[in-house]
Each structure stands twice: as structure tokens, then as C-alpha cells.
Amino acid sequence: MFPTLRGRVTATYFVVVIVSLLLASAFCLLFLTRYIRNSDREDLRKQVGAVAQDIGQVVKATERLFSQEDGTSAGPDVAPSAVPLIDEQEAAANLVTNFLNTESQVLQVKLAVVSPDGQVVAESEGRPSFGADTLQLPPDIFSERGARITERFFQRLGRNYVFATAPTTITTGGSGFLLAIKPVEQVRHFAGTLILYVVVAGLIALAISMGLAFYLSSAISRPVRAVTEAARAMAAGDYSQEVEVKGSDETAELARDFNLMASRVRTAYDLQRNFVGNVSHELRTPLTSIEGFSQALLDGVSTSPEERKRSLEIINHESKRLVRVLRDLLLLSQIDAGEVKPEKKKVDLVDFMRNLANLYTTRAQDAGVVLNVDLPGSLEVNTDPDRLERVMTNLLENAIKYTGAGGSVKLRAQAPDDSVRIDISDTGPGIPEDQLERIFDRFHRVEQSRAQKHGGSGLGLSISKELVETLGGTIEVASTVGQGSTFTVVLPVDGG
Ligand SMILES: Nc1ncnc2c1ncn2[C@@H]1O[C@H](COP(=O)(O)OP(=O)(O)OP(=O)(O)O)[C@@H](O)[C@H]1O
Ligand SMILES: [Mg+2]
């Protein structure tokens, strides 16, 4: 329904705001209307009680006045009138009606005095007008004990009213009730106004939250879109992608990680390109020699048996070099594919190193290099002897090859802590400091001329490093130009 992140965030905000507004206004309305209705009614009940008492006073005062005028209880100074000027009962009723009118205006309710049988004795002006009717009022709205408030459907007027009643005196000795009525709609009107306010406030809140939702969703979706576009461009082959990193939130983290990934992809791509270039170069050089010398043989250019022998030796030498390079490349690709699984077993390292040294003694002598060995009494290690032999061979061959006549190479093994440490030190030309980091890279050679002289292809150390890592160990180099180099292999005794 909402395919974009921005659409979903905005819609969620919209729903959350509407639902919370509806809930909040419903509870607010319920509470306020109840509160106001109850306090309103309690006020009315008290006021009706007070007015009922006042009516009693008015009735009593009126009757006292008339009885004085009649001379029934008048003092000696008052002259009794022979004929009353107005009907006494009517005058008393008028007084009560006037009193009701005044109170009705103050309280804003309709007031009436009714006899216990529901007969209207007096009423305030204003609607509804009862006249001389007998009000068909439910009896439970009256209580002799005091003021009472109820809400009822008033049959006569056809709608709901709030009835407030209180016992009062209607004549001396005659009791009745004061009745106040108020339509319920007054409360409803208040609720309508409240709803209007809530709707207006809700619309303002909605507008603000929609703005915020839009801002928030843009803040999230903009960097996500930038990363998506950069990822698409990378998938299409443009590896130069880098997205802007702003702030430190999750989207910034995503952008930073994307840039990291992009730079690794670039490095891997460059490595792969260089690798292919290097491989082609490594294969082309011996193949060119093989092609050239074999062609010369075929064309009969090499006439003397010595020349022919020399050509065949070169072809043989270059073929061997090709085979070696291809074998190394195959091993590297197997390591990359995770196909090289070490087969570990207990190896007597002292024996192992001594055999290795014996194998290389003649080669070292031929090269004019002295080979020294420094081994402990015994040293056992759990490792793959074939892989370790390949590593040691690479390092020993390098040491003898690059040190040259007059130098020396030392083979040393020791066991500090839970590891074995094998050092191969030489007194050769050393490796410049700026090259030490790249020495283990594939095809990296310190000096083209030095390597060419020795016919190396620059794969030996990279293979050694990968193999040592598959054995759970590390390989490091320390070197000083003009003084020599030390290659150190550290392996776990228990095989890791
Ligand atoms: N003991 C050393 N002393 C001085 N330079 C060294 C030594 N060992 C390695 N190097 C330098 O490091 C480079 C990389 O060595 P690596 O063994 O990887 O390749 P290589 O010997 O040239 O060829 P390969 O071993 O594949 O036949 C060498 O070309 C050489 O320049
Ligand atoms: Mg080598």
C-alpha cells in the first residue's frame, strides 16, 4: 500500500496521531462532562435546599402578617381592619411566586412549589409553564428527608430533565416540595463545544506531526536512497562510489559501512586486475623464451651442437619455471577457495628441522653460504608437516638465494609459552623498511633486477603467509638494509 519508507512513516504517524487524539478526547470528554455534571447538580441540590428553606420563611412571615392584619394576634397599637383588601391566600401565593421568579432568574432554572400530590401551588415565570396542572412526576424524585437530585424522562415535556427537589412549607402546617427543573441538553451543549476544541487542537497537532513525519522520513530515506543508488552504480561496474556521511546515527553508520565495503571492493578489484596482469607477465616471459629458442632450433639457426644444447637447456629451464609458477598459482587458488585443510599430527620439530638443514647444506655450500642450526634438545608440535615444510623451504631458499656468497644463514627453534618460534636469519642485503609491509603480497618483489637475477616470481612469501595462517600461526619479518633479515614463524604447540 505504501511502497516507500517515507509513505509508511507518514501513514504510521497519521494513524498514531488520530488514534491517540480520539482516545485522549474521548477520555477527556467523559471525565469533564461527568465532573461538570456532578458538580453542577450538587450545586443545584444545595441551592434548591436553601431556596426551599427560604420559602418556608416567606410563607411563615406572610401568614404572620395576615394574622396581624386580621387582629387575631395583633398588639394593642394596631387597628384591626374590618374587611381584608385582597384575598389573603392569593396575596400569599403572589409573594411566593415573586420569590420564585427572583430565585429562578438567579439560578437559571424553572422553579415550582408543588403539593405532595403533585398539584402546582406556585411557579416561576418562563417555560415550561405548568399552570394549574397536576404534574405526573415520578414519586421517587421527592424525599421528605431533604434535597434530592435525579435525571428523568419528563413525560409531559417529552424529554430528559434534571429534577432537583427539596421539602418546603406551603402553608402553616402544610408541607410540599420545591421543584427545580433543567433540561439535560445544557450539559450536551457543553460537550459539543469541547469536541469542537478537541477537533481544532487535533488538526493543529496533526499538521505539526505530519510535518515532523515528513522531515523524519526524509532524514532517514535520503541517505538510504543515496546508498541504494551508489550500490546500483557499483553493481553496474562503477566502483568509484562513495556516499556522504552526516552525523553519527544509524543511517550515518550505514553510509560509513557502505564506503568501507566500496573501498574493499575497489581494493579487491585492483588486486584482481593486477593479479591477472602479473600472471600474464609471469607466463609470457618464459613462454617468449621457449617460443624463440624452439623456433631457432626449427629454423636451423642454432647450427653447432653446443648452441642446440644451450637452446634446449633454456627451453627446459623456462618450462620448469612455468611449471613452478603454475603450481604456485594453483596452490594459491586452492587456499583462496578454502580447499587447503591442514592435516595435523605430532611432529618432532627438532628432527624435522635437522632433516631440512641437511637437505639444504649442499645447496648453501654451492651458493657460498654458511648454514648454522640452533635447536633445543626436543620440541614437539601438533601441526601439518607438509605445509610447514613448504613454508620452511620457501624461507630457506630465499635466505640462501638472496644472501649470496660470503654470507650466513641461521636456523633457530625455541618454545616460549604455548608456542614454537622458528627464526630464519640471514646476513643478506636486507629489505627496505617501506617494503616490509608489502613483502607478503602476491608477486611483490623488492627489486626487479634482484628478483630477475634469481628468477623468482614473488609468490613464495605470500604462499608461506597463507599456509602459516591455515596452521593457526603468524609470520613476521624484521630487516635492516645491508645487515640482513629475520623471518619469524610462530605456531601454536597444540595446533590451535
Ligand atoms: N631473505 C631475504 N633477503 C632479502 N630479500 C628477500 C628475502 N626473502 C625475500 N626477499 C625479497 O622479497 C621478495 C618476495 O619473496 P618471495 O619469496 O615471495 O618471491 P621470490 O623469491 O621472488 O619468488 P618465488 O619465491 O615465488 O620463487 C623477493 O623477490 C625478494 O626481493
Ligand atoms: Mg622465494
pLDDT tens digit sequence for 341-397: 889 999 999 999 999 999 999 999 999 999 999 999 889 999 999 999 999 999 999
Q: What is the pLDDT of residue 77?
A: 47
CA neighbor of 425 nearest in space, from 464, 399, 394: 399
- How many C-beta neighbours within 10 Å does residue 357 have? 18
- Helical residues (DSSP H) of 142-249, grouped into ranges: 185-235
What is the rounded average pLDDT of the residues 314-341?
A: 91
CA distance 216 to 251: 12
State the residue for C-alpha cell 566502483.
239
Provide the greatest CA pair distance for the chain: 182
CA distance 376 to 413: 7
Q: What is the pLDDT of residue 451?
A: 57
How is the chain split among helix, strand and coil, in percent rounded to 5?
Answer: 55, 15, 25
Half-sphere exposure of 128 (CA within 13 A, CB side): 17
Mean pLDDT is highest, among 43-52, 117-126, 383-392, 434-443, for: 383-392
What is the rounded average pLDDT of the residues 199-212?
A: 86
Is the Cα dihedral 33, 112, 95, 57 positive or negative?
negative
Does the domain at 5-189 match CATH 3.40.50.300? Answer given as no
Q: How far is the centre of ligand 2, averaged over its atoms, from the C-alpha of 310 (Å)?
A: 26
What is the rounded average pLDDT of the residues 180-201?
A: 77
64 or 211: which carries more pLDDT confidence?
A: 211
Cross-strand partners of 475: 489
Q: What is the pLDDT of residue 81?
A: 46
Is residue 426 within 6 Å of ligand 1 at its C-beta? yes
Atom 13 of ligand 1 has which residue's CA nearest to it? 445
CA distance 494 to 345: 10
Q: What is the pLDDT of residue 82?
A: 44
CATH of domain 250-336: 1.10.287.130
What is the rounded average pLDDT of the residues 207-222?
A: 86
Q: What is the pLDDT of residue 132?
A: 67
Output DSSP code: residue 76.
Answer: T
Q: Which residue intervals of the chain bear CATH 3.30.450.20?
A: 5-189
What is the pTM (predicted TM-score) of this model?
0.59
Three-state SS string over 388-431 comes to HHHHHHHHHHHHHHHHCCCCEEEEEEECCCCEEEEEEEECCCCC
> How do beta strands 408-414 and 370-374 pair?
parallel
Is residue 407 within 6 Å of ligand 1 at its C-beta? no
Q: What is the pLDDT of residue 75?
A: 44
Is residue 457 within 6 Å of ligand 1 at its C-beta? yes
Is residue 409 within 6 Å of ligand 1 at its C-beta? no
Q: What is the pLDDT of residue 449?
A: 58
Is residue 458 within 6 Å of ligand 1 at its C-beta? yes
- What string of DSSP letters covers 34-47? HHHHHHHHHHHHHH
CA dihedral 211, 214, 219, 223 (to 10 degrees): -160
Q: Which residue intervals of the chain bear CATH 3.30.565.10?
A: 345-492
The ligand whose atoms approach the alpha carbon of 462 most closely is 1
Mean pLDDT is highest, among 7-11, 172-176, 284-288, for: 284-288
Is residue 264 within 6 Å of ligand 1 at its C-beta? no
Mutate to test the pocket of ligand 1, among 330, 398, 424 (most ligand atoms within 8 A of CB): 398
Q: How far is the centre of ligand 1, averaged over its atoms, from the C-alpha of 463 (Å)?
A: 11
Q: Inter-axis angle of helices 185-235 and 5-69, to 10 degrees? A: 170
Is residue 456 within 6 Å of ligand 1 at its C-beta? yes
Q: What is the pLDDT of residue 187?
A: 59
CA distance 175 to 114: 9
Is residue 445 within 6 Å of ligand 1 at its C-beta? yes
pLDDT tens, 451-493? 566 778 899 999 999 999 999 999 999 999 999 999 999 999 8
Q: How far is the centre of ligand 1, averaged over its atoms, from the C-alpha of 314 (Å)?
A: 23
Q: What is the pLDDT of residue 135?
A: 72
Q: What is the pLDDT of residue 79?
A: 45
Q: What is the pLDDT of residue 450?
A: 57
Q: What is the pLDDT of residue 395?
A: 97
Mean pLDDT is highest, among 136-140, 417-421, 478-482, for: 478-482
Atom 7 of ligand 1 has which residue's CA nearest to it? 398
What is the rounded average pLDDT of the residues 189-218?
A: 83
Residue 161: alpha-carbon gap to chain centroid? 57
Q: Is the pLDDT of residue 86 over 70?
A: no
Q: What is the pLDDT of residue 78?
A: 45
Q: Which atom of ligand 1 is nearest to the CA of 403?
A: 3
Total residues found in the chain within this entry: 496
Which grid coordinates are listed for 121?
A: 401551588
Report yes or no: 69 and 82 within 8 Å, Cβ to Cβ: no
Q: Which residue intervals of the chain bear CATH 1.10.287.130?
A: 250-336
CA distance 456 to 324: 10
Mean pLDDT of the chain: 86
176 or 448: which carries more pLDDT confidence?
A: 176
Q: How far is the centre of ligand 2, averaged over its atoms, from the C-alpha of 295 (Å)?
A: 31
Residue 414: alpha-carbon gap to chain centroid? 52
Confidence of residue 302 (pLDDT cuts 50, 70, 90): confident
Mean pLDDT is highest, among 7-16, 89-98, 410-419, for: 410-419
CA distance 411 to 414: 11
CA distance 146 to 425: 115
* Those residues with Cβ within 8 angstroms of residue 378's Cβ, 6 or more apart along the chain or in another chain: 348, 350
Confidence of residue 319 (pLDDT cuts 50, 70, 90): very high
Q: What is the pLDDT of residue 70?
A: 56
Q: What is the pLDDT of residue 120?
A: 85
Which grid coordinates are listed for 199?
A: 477537533
Mutate to test the pocket of ligand 1, among 445, 453, 487 (most ligand atoms within 8 A of CB): 445
160 or 333: which carries more pLDDT confidence?
A: 333
Output DSSP code: residue 236.
Answer: T
Is residue 428 within 6 Å of ligand 1 at its C-beta? yes
What is the rounded average pLDDT of the residues 177-194?
A: 77
CA distance 87 to 59: 15
- How many C-beta neighbours within 10 Å does residue 426 have? 27
pLDDT tens, 91-103? 777 888 888 999 9
Is residue 427 within 6 Å of ligand 1 at its C-beta? no
Q: What is the pLDDT of residue 74?
A: 42
CA distance 448 to 3: 58
CA dihedral 153, 154, 156, 158 (to 10 degrees): -40
| Region of residue 249 (phi > 0: left; psi between -120 and 50: alpha; otherwise: beta) | beta
Q: Which atom of ligand 1 is nearest to the CA of 426?
A: 1
CATH of domain 345-492: 3.30.565.10
Q: How far is the centre of ligand 1, averaged over its atoms, from the C-alpha of 456 (Å)?
A: 7
Q: Is the pLDDT of residue 83 over 70?
A: no
CA distance 111 to 48: 9
Lowest mean pLDDT across 225-234, 242-251, 318-327, 450-459 = 450-459
Q: Is the pLDDT of residue 327 over 90?
A: yes
Is residue 431 within 6 Å of ligand 1 at its C-beta? yes
Q: Is the pLDDT of residue 90 over 80?
A: no
Confidence of residue 186 (pLDDT cuts 50, 70, 90): low
What is the rounded average pLDDT of the residues 140-159?
A: 83
Atom 17 of ligand 1 has which residue's CA nearest to it? 460
CA neighbor of 352 nearest in space, from 383, 331, 394: 383
